[in-house]
Amino acid sequence: MSERVPIRVVVNGELHESEVEPRRLLVHLLRDDIGLTGTHVGCDTSNCGACTIHLDGEAVKSCTVLAVQADGAEVTTVEGLARNGQLHPMQEAFWEHHGLQCGYCTPGMIMAGVDLLKRNSDPSEEDVRHALEGNLCRCTGYHNIVKAIQSAAHAGQGAEVPA
């Protein structure tokens, strides 16, 4: 057991201070230490993207980030998207367009979708598919996920999209 390192991470707007082993993965800090289990682990090798979160505003795979690398950073997880009980437009779009079945890849897909729209407010189908190459879904065949993200893009036009 190696020496523990103190870190301060703001997660969904709340400050969390803890001491972690330097090898501790950010996803385990979020799930096991802070209790935010919406971020999932699917593959351990950064292929599936179920663990996608936003670190200082950028989508990252939290199974491949050390908790100590998030020291001083702001993290947004899927639990942090809804505001005042209102679903984020991306969450609403996934529901409306049947963009999920088992729901396991969904938090990562939603976080990847929100990240894409920050960079490209009106993505083509090809843009969406390219942006999702790091997120695997076994249930939906991606069809309705692509539709949901494009729909969220249109819903978000002119509206402020949080996170």
Partner 1 sequence: MSVSQPPETRGNGWVGQAIRRKEDPPLIKGQGNYVDDMTLPGMLHAVIVRSPEAHATITSIDKAGAEEHPTVVAVLTGEDLAAELAGPIPMVWAPPGVEIKTPEHWPLARGEVKHVGQAVAVVVGTDRYAVADAAEEVIVEYESLPAVVDPERALEDGSPFVWDDFCTNQTHEWAIAGGDAEGALRDAEVVVERRIVNHRTAGAPIEPRSSIGDPRGDGATLYSSTQIPHIARFVLSGMLGMAEDKIRVVAPDVGGGFGAKLQVYGEEALVLAVARRLGRPVKWTETRSEHMTTSHHGRDQIAHVTLGADREGKITAWKVRHVCDLGAYFQILTPFIPELGFPVAGGCYAIPNIKLEFVGVFTNKFATDAVRGAGRPEQTHMVEVMMDQLAAEVGIDPVELRRRNFIAKEQFPYETPLGIVYDSGDYHGSLDKLLEHVDMDAFRREQAELRERGVYRGIGLSTYVEVCGLAPSRAVGPQGVGLQAAFWESAVVRVHPAGSATVYTGTSPHGQGHDTGFAQIAADRLGLDPANVEVLHGDTDQGPMGWGTYGSRSLAVGGESVGRAALKVQEKAKRICAAMLEAAPEDIELADGKFQVRGSPDKAMTMVEIAGAAHIPPQELPTDIEPGLEETSFYDPENFVFPFGAHACVVDVDAETGKVEVVRWVAVDDCGPAINPMLIDGQVHGGVTHGIGQALYEQIVYDDEGQLVTGSFVDYALPTASEVPMFETDRTETPSPVNQLGVKGVGEAGTIAASPAVVNAVTDALKPLGIAYMNMPLTPMRVWQAIEEARGRGGGGPARTEQGRDVGEHGTGAAGSGPTSPGEGGAL
DSSP letter assigned to residue 1: -
Q: Is 141 in the site for partner 1 (CB under 8 A)?
A: yes
Q: Is the dihedral of CA 77, 74, 70, 35 positive or negative?
A: negative
Judged by CB under 8 A, does residue 138 bind partner 1? Answer: yes
Cβ proximity of 18 and 27 under 8 Å: no
Q: Which stretch binds partner 1 (CB under 8 A): 27-35, 67-75, 114-122, 153-161?
A: 27-35
Provide CB contacts within 8 A for 101, sequence distance 6+.
Answer: 139, 140
- Nearest distance in Å: CB 114, partner 1: 12
- Give the C-alpha separation, 37 to 77, whole Å: 10
Q: Among 10, 96, 118, 155, which residue interacts with partner 1 (rule: CB under 8 A)?
A: 96
Name residue 116's amino acid: L
Q: How far is the CB of 155 from partner 1 (least distance, A)?
A: 15
- Residues at the contact surface with partner 1, assessed by CB under 8 A: 1, 21, 23-24, 28, 31-32, 36-45, 47-48, 50, 77-79, 81-82, 87, 91, 94-96, 98, 100-107, 110, 125, 128-130, 132-133, 135-146
